[in-house]
Chain A
Amino acid sequence: MTSVEDASGLHHRKTATKGASPPVTPIKNATSNQSNEKKENPPISLPKILSSNAALAGLILTSIIAILPRIYLIWFPQEVVFDEVHFGKFASYYLRRQYYFDVHPPLAKMILAIPAKLVGYNGKFLFEKIGMNYIENGAPYFVMRMTVAMFGASIPILAYMIMAESGYSLAVSFITASLISLDNSLVLHSRLILLDSIMLFFMVSSIYSYIRFFKLRFHPFTTQWYLWLTTTGFLLGCAVSCKLVGLFTFSCVGIFVLYDLWRILDINRNTTISEFGKHFAARAVSLILVPIVVYLTFFYVHFSILTNTGPGDAYHTPNFQMQLAGNQLAMNTLPVYFGDSVSFKHIDTNTFISSRDEIYPLKYADGRVSSNGQQVTATGAETDESFWTVIPGELFEEYTNHFDVNGTRINDLPIPPESLIELKVRHNDVVRLLHKTTNCVLRTHDVAAPLTPTNMEFTCVNSTDEKAYKDTLFYLKFDQPSAATKDSEGNLIQEELRTSSKRFRIVSKSQNVAAMTHAKKLPKWGHGDQEINGKKAASGSNTLWTINTVSGKNVSDSEETKVTIPKMGFFAKFIELQRLMLEHNAKLTKPHPYQSTPASWPLMLRGVSFWTDSNYNRQIYFLGNPFGWAMSILGIGMFSVIILGILAGHRRNFDLVSAIVERHLMRNGLIFAICYAMHYLPFFIMGRALFIHHYLPSVVFGYMVLGSMLQFFTVDNYQQYALFSPVFSRINLPILPKSKRMIAYLGLVLALQFLTFCYFAPFVYGTTLTPSQVRSRKWLPSWDFAFTNK
């Protein structure tokens, strides 16, 4: 027992608050079990530091192996590759400060914009198409790629630190890190302007940070403890702010924390409930509140950078759009008066409510019967037939002074300004809509619509038809009405209707249905127009309309174009953007030629072609390191079998492995396995289109599980690797396993990884290959490289 304690070095960490720790007894190497005095004054020369501190030397070596393949030929190709189209573009928009819309949170894209800004780039190039030349367009792609490469290179370094912190032998830590360094897919993703490397960095670093925190569990509520806890929360927040996949890391840490809390709760640990409460509260604040604040902060920055109108406007509500400087909605908009002829444009499908002198067929193909009334349809273009005169539901004095029942002017006298205010159409007004060319009024009634039997039919009836009168009254309900103001006499005045900048629903007063249309086309009798019908639930975006034009009025020659911009706070903007992101993310279900199913990822059944150059037979193709991926799958399989075996052994009253090995596997191995599973399995229940690059986080953690298996099979003196910080405490550790054969195996794994990496490197760096060379690399028939035959 004592030897274990001695070897652990646990309470000799510099982090301990007491500081007065007894001399360490670390072990120089596995063979000589001598103790070394802790060096009070480390020598200054670098070689000496390195020779006496293997951990640091390993860290530096790892960094070199990590960085080199990532920056080699990073300036090639000088063309836009794959998704650089998107992310380069977004970086440019940040520099132009133009608003854009994307389904991913902003952090990673903002990070990409920083180096470009630093070299003085102004965002003039928009990365429109794959294959466009960077040099010609003056885009600072080199610094942007370098930034990504630095983030990418830090992943293996962090992996090294995690492994070393978790009590793995330095040799195993180094090899695991090198395996990650030499994985083709990870290298490829960190050489291009893509988000995944940045996200991966935050993911892996938050796990590292949590491990540092966990190791301080016997010194709770110290400064160090708080520091690492908060850092974990901050990094988690960053990971989520890069891509929503960061939530998987979040749930991993959640699992670890719950397990930790569960153990703290055990009464045999002498924790009182109040202490437990403190533990709980500290974690809740740091790991829930801090990430939320971080996430919000980045969006706050996002909104404060993007203040100008840009391509993302159209996704948003008019209120949101009007916040952006230069938006058309805030500038070119007219108020609508009763008696005006206006056209209604559908928001989702850009169609116009029209009617023509034709009637619905009496009977449809499926045997249902219509009202046989005049057709009301949604047409793609604005024609004379799509203008409707707005008449008040009940004619009031100001109106009858100037207009007749059909909305035409009685006299040519100018309308006095006081009645102008009265004549404006406002939120919640009851109106009738008179069709301009056929002089009928819009009506909806309880007859099934032509294509959608559950909804009501819209038709047009004679304006004098008294029976239909109540069916011709419609509310105009605004989508985001601002609060009613009070006029000088204290009467409430609702917001006025304006062209383009107001969205509203046309809701029937008697039937309580809202006019909607959808992309279904009517058959021949409807000239292929869209159906308009009354939807019972007046919600959703397919019932939203806006006024496109007012007949005879022009924005330029009117003085009433200025609008007061409605106030919209940060949270309102944030919530609207979140909703849109989720909606559009869920909509990404369209099949894509390179999409793949999660089950095929570990076997690497399909790659993705990023870029091809047929002149020189060069191509960039996403592919993992086949050897490494196969090894990590093998490692994960063996890990599960061993864990199951150990548990089953306990049932049978025997130990498969020694207690200390078991403990190490159950803690430091299981953490990686949980991370692997939590970053992989949730994809199985996702409905959207998935790509193999979604598997990258699991690749990293899969290599770490493999590392724990390497440790299990090659290293037998587990006692020596206890929980401490070798990198920073500069304690000399045993570097290599005892057995020479095991050293050879470890070397072999690394060598094979390096060789396969080199063999497939042309697909990473885009170097020329002859067709026969490409064919020889086609190990699976489903890897669809270009230029396989000629």
Chain B
Amino acid sequence: MSSEKVRSRKQQRYYMNSEFNSASQHGSDYDFNENEKYNLANPSNDLDYVPAYQKDHAVFQSTHLNQAKLADPTSGKRFRFTKKRLIVLGLVFLMAAYFRLWKLSHPSKVVFDEVHFGKHAGLYINRTFFLDVHPPLAKMMFAAAGKIFGYDGKFDFKTIGLDYTSTNVPYASMRFMPAFLGLAMVPITYITIAAFGGSEEACLLGSLLVTFENSFMTISRLILLDSILIFFTGLTVMFWALFLREEGHPFTKTWWVYLILTGVNMGNALSSKWVGLFLVGTIGVWTIKDLWFRITDYRVTLNEVNKHFWARVLGLIVTPLTVYVFWFYIHFSVLTLSGSGNNFMSPEFQTTVGGSHLVSTMRDVYYGSKIRIRHDATNAGYLHSHASRYETGSKQQQVTLYSHRDDNNYWIIDYTLDQKKKLANSTNLNELKPIKNGDVIRLKHANTKKNLHSHNLRAPVTNKDYINEVSGYGGDDFDGDSNDDWIVRIMDGDNSVPSSFNQIVSIHSKFRLIHKNEKCALFSNRVKLPKWGFEQVEVVCMKHAKYPKSIWRIESATHEKINYDTAPKVSFKIPGFFEKFIESHVVMLRVNNGLTGSHFYDSRPFSWIYLRRGIGYWSEKGHTIYLIGNPIIWWLAFVSIVSFVAIQLVLVLRDQRGYNDQMFGYRAQYMNFTGFFGIGWAMHYFPFFLMGRQLFLHHYLPALWFGIVALASSIDIFTRKVSSKARTVIMCALLFYTLRLYFLYSPVGYGTSWTREACEKSKMLSSWDFSCKQYPSIAEKLAKQTFDKDQGKKDNEKIQEAEIVDPGQPQPIDNIDEEIRLNQPAPMINDEDKKKLESDWEKFKNEDVKGSASLQPEKKDGESNPENKNDKQDDKAGEIQNKEEKKEEQKQEEQKKEEQKKEEQKQEEPKKEEKKEEEQKKEEQKENQQVIDKKAEEPKVENENQVAKDKPAPAEPKP
């Protein structure tokens, strides 16, 4: 290294630092100007420090000419469309429209998550309240599309593969909406690249790559949210790009328009899916960078800086938030009827959704009050007990949480044994005494007369040292023991009823029940009991219990000595919009985090970058829809990101050595253009690593779009200095391969027919698991298949019958069903359990004849409070429905059995066994028939019993 060269490099390094500082392209690392010298003979002036800006200022005059080298040639220039560009764009759009809208109505079946989003659209149209983990905008758009084209919301999109043709669902029109938005990504990409200063070729390349990306095509043809999310993401970035072009003319009308439009669309993206938050992060990072390196420069007046800052706060924080809240406002005002989502919400929330039967109840609670206790944190239901026993631990009577109101939810507050002894002499026992904070009480189950009890035995499901079982103990002849004593600790009250802080008041007092002996708190954590517990929710007593999940409230109270009508009442507060907004978000977050189950097609983020496998959306003999990307685009997009990072690293290291490369003058553009999309890619990709919930390939699609634009821009910038011929050749080669692969994999995207040979040949990675077996081989294909018109109906019937589930069979991915099931009534009690219940009941009856009087089903009882009447009616209606459904199911089951038999005969079992089996089955069938007959009769009986049971137990035991 000759000394001359080194000297010039040092000088360059010196200038460049000041350039960076003054041109504000990069960080102002003021350490550059420290004159610390390693290896110098006199290491004297370690503290000889001159602040950066002073030197900076000194050299500013001499170096400002160099700025031109670094400055982005496009920045500040306004963006104009030439006629030529418009024509090109129009042609590309028309071509893309053909590929995106072709055969949109195929398949005429419910595909993958259409199960959910179609159903949600229906629920919007019916205005019934539901809960979903995604914000409402995209689903409301589907609902609007459905409404416009005449969907009445009756079809329920129950399973994948149901046929649309026999229903009147305007599914093609509903699919047109995402397809059109997906199509709109083509011009959006074009304009975005143009606005970032890309050449015409780059614009064309980028938009064509988006057009021929198989995954975008597949996902935009179905009723799924992702296409809408990608659309809003793209739109936001487009307006952001246009906004950046206006930075030379701040606070003009166009500047404001673009800023606000960026914000509005950011809000829309966020309201479609929470993944929109990553978009907020992307724009946020870029805004902070902009503010720090460009706006806050000392040559800009403070006033100006202030204006810039607040303009961005308005445009990029206030606007999106307003939009987000606005869509939720619409959401809540549309969904006004009670529905499946009710059970997730607090009782306060439920009062705002019509059809709820939460009415006011008696305010004061005394010893002897008959109460219904609600678990406050989880909304999983009421403290419940019934006459069947645990099969583990103590084998005592079960205590559970049950989400539906029935008669077994009632408990009576009682004095403890000690207190009774104390009070036995005085007449106080019958006095009305409120329950104060710190009182020791017992809770007696109204129907079975068992006390709420806990002891040092492990709980049935949650088997932990610090968790005790909770059971029903004692009875009428036995008074129980001190393990039935619970201390009441009031944790919170309501200001409207001041007494609720130190004595128990219905609805307003939130309290814990601490077991006196074991010092554990009554607790529930949404854990289901096994089948013997009717899959109701487990209730345990936990030492050092977490605060919110050990809190209970009284939802209704009556007392035999108080006239219900004249007693003071309380009712749930009606929450305002923001309270509802916050509550629904808490629940959505919880459910979202709960989506940890595994799905056949789920994948981890790392496997996305190399496209390990796709997602099977739907399949049927000879047709498949499988989400898979265009491999060349997919891989090259990632390569462009990696090469950007690598090149920047090398450049920075070389800068430090004074080389000061300029990349033919495109360095700044590379940084600002590809860099923005690199950050966008990273912000849409890396956060997924932190997520514990199940993830799918389609979560990568927004990142992929950023990657594609980064790819187009990289190719653009790296080929600028190449001859135009070579440039054309490179781009055409890429396009050629893209097209080839697009058409190669389009059969699984469109769900059109294919041949087995072509399918097998096309697999680039062995891990791509679309099944080739289902395609006919070439020979078979020659014989053309004709479609039956009634095929749809038949298929629907077929699907209703259970099939052998092939592991690769697509299933909807949303686990919210599981959550809903948790909140649903326990499954109908089957015969065995019922017998057991009955025998328990018999035993119980025989055990204590005296007490049984109160337990006898009372058919005449006029004095039930209005609340319970409602319940009863609802239950009745439910029962009848259940009955009908059951009958239907039974019919179907018969059919299923026959079908299966046939199938199996054909498929698996050797011939010898056939006959035997047939005979067996006939017998079985007979038996079944009998059972079914029995069942058909039984529900009636049961029903009556049920109705009888539902009537509140009489206030006083009758002789």
Contacts and interface: CB of A to CB of B under 8 A. Distances in A.
Interface string A213-247: 00001101000000000000000000000000000
Interface stretch (A153-161, A362-370, A580-588): A362-370
B39 A220 contact: yes
B431 interface: no
B53 interface: yes
Contacts of A467: 910
Contacts of A217: 38
A271 B302 contact: no
Instruction: Give the most central of B51, B302, B900: most A CB within 10 Å.
Output: B51
Interface in A61-84: none
Interface in A297-346: none
Instruction: Give the most central of A10, A467, A653: most B CB within 10 Å.
Output: A653
B28 A651 contact: yes
A266 B17 CA distance: 11
Interface in A566-594: 593-594
A467 B298 CA distance: 87
Contacts of B10: 267-268
Contacts of B13: 266-268
B38 A659 contact: no
Nearest to B298: A653
A268 B803 contact: no
A448 B804 contact: yes
A453 B544 contact: no
Contacts of B14: 268
B466 interface: yes
Contacts of B38: 217-218, 220, 264, 269-271, 275
A265 interface: yes
B33 to A, nearest CB: 9
Interface in B711-765: none
A265 B653 contact: yes
Contacts of B805: 366-368, 448, 453
Contacts of B908: 371, 447
B656 A652 contact: no
Given A267-B658, A368-B805, A369-B804, A663 B39 contact: no
A778 interface: no
Interface in A414-454: 447-448, 453-454
A465 to B, nearest CB: 9
Nearest to B45: A5
Nearest to B294: A651
A454 B46 contact: no
Contacts of A659: 49-51
A650 B51 contact: yes
A660 interface: yes
Q: Give the size category of B's interface with A.
A: 35 or more
A454 B807 contact: yes
Interface string B21-57: 0000000101110011111100111111111110001
A8 B51 contact: no
B35 to A, nearest CB: 8
A267 B600 CA distance: 56
A263 to B, nearest CB: 7
Contact of A448 (B44, B466, B807): B807
B548 to A, nearest CB: 12
B654 to A, nearest CB: 10
B770 to A, nearest CB: 17
Instruction: Give the most central of A4, A218, A655, A784: most B CB within 10 Å.
Output: A218
A780 interface: no
A270 B35 CA distance: 11
Nearest to A593: B544
B59 to A, nearest CB: 14
Contact of A648 (B51, B296, B543): B296
Given A366-B805, A367-B805, A593-B543, A11 B43 contact: yes
B47 A8 contact: yes
Contacts of A267: 6, 9-10, 13, 656-658
A367 B544 contact: no
A367 B803 contact: yes
Contacts of B53: 650, 653
Given A651-B296, A663-B49, A262 B802 contact: no
B1 interface: yes
Interface in A237-289: 262-273, 275
A717 to B, nearest CB: 14
Interface string B285-297: 0000000100011
Nearest to B305: A652
Instruction: Give the most central of B52, B653, B656, B910: most A CB within 10 Å.
Output: B656
A727 to B, nearest CB: 21
Nearest to B689: A685
A722 interface: yes
Contacts of A660: 47, 49
A218 B43 contact: yes
Contacts of B6: 267
A1 interface: yes
B46 A8 contact: yes
A652 B299 CA distance: 8
Contact of A722 (B36, B43, B47, B297): B47
B298 A368 contact: no
Interface string B898-912: 001000100011100
Contacts of A43: none
B615 to A, nearest CB: 16
A454 B599 CA distance: 11
Interface in B1-25: 1, 6, 9-10, 13-14
A782 B491 CA distance: 12
A19 interface: no
Contacts of A271: 38-39
B692 interface: yes
Nearest to A445: B908
Contact of A652 (B30, B45, B298, B904): B298
A687 interface: yes
B690 interface: yes
B31 A650 contact: no
Contacts of A263: 31, 36
B804 A368 contact: yes
Given A270-B40, A367-B802, A5 B47 contact: yes
A447 B804 CA distance: 10
Contact of A270 (B39, B653, B904): B39
Contact of B37 (A269, A593, A651): A269
Interface in B444-477: 466
A750 to B, nearest CB: 30
Contacts of B909: 372
A653 B298 CA distance: 6
A4 B49 CA distance: 11
A10 B46 contact: yes
B259 to A, nearest CB: 22
Interface string A722-761: 1100000000000000000000000000000000000000
Interface string B685-716: 00000101000000000000000000000000
Given A271-B38, A651-B28, A652-B298, A265 B43 contact: no
A650 B544 contact: no
Contacts of A272: 1
Nearest to B908: A371
Nearest to A719: B47
25 contacts: A4-B47, A8-B46, A217-B38, A218-B40, A263-B31, A268-B13, A268-B37, A270-B40, A271-B38, A271-B39, A272-B1, A366-B802, A367-B802, A368-B805, A448-B804, A453-B807, A594-B544, A650-B53, A651-B292, A651-B296, A652-B302, A653-B53, A654-B298, A659-B49, A663-B49
Given A448-B807, A663-B47, 12 more contacts: A218-B40, A268-B37, A366-B802, A448-B805, A593-B544, A594-B544, A650-B28, A650-B30, A650-B51, A651-B296, A651-B298, A659-B51
Which 8 residue pairs across A and B have the least CB separation, nearest first? A367-B802, A653-B298, A218-B43, A267-B658, A593-B544, A651-B296, A454-B807, A265-B656
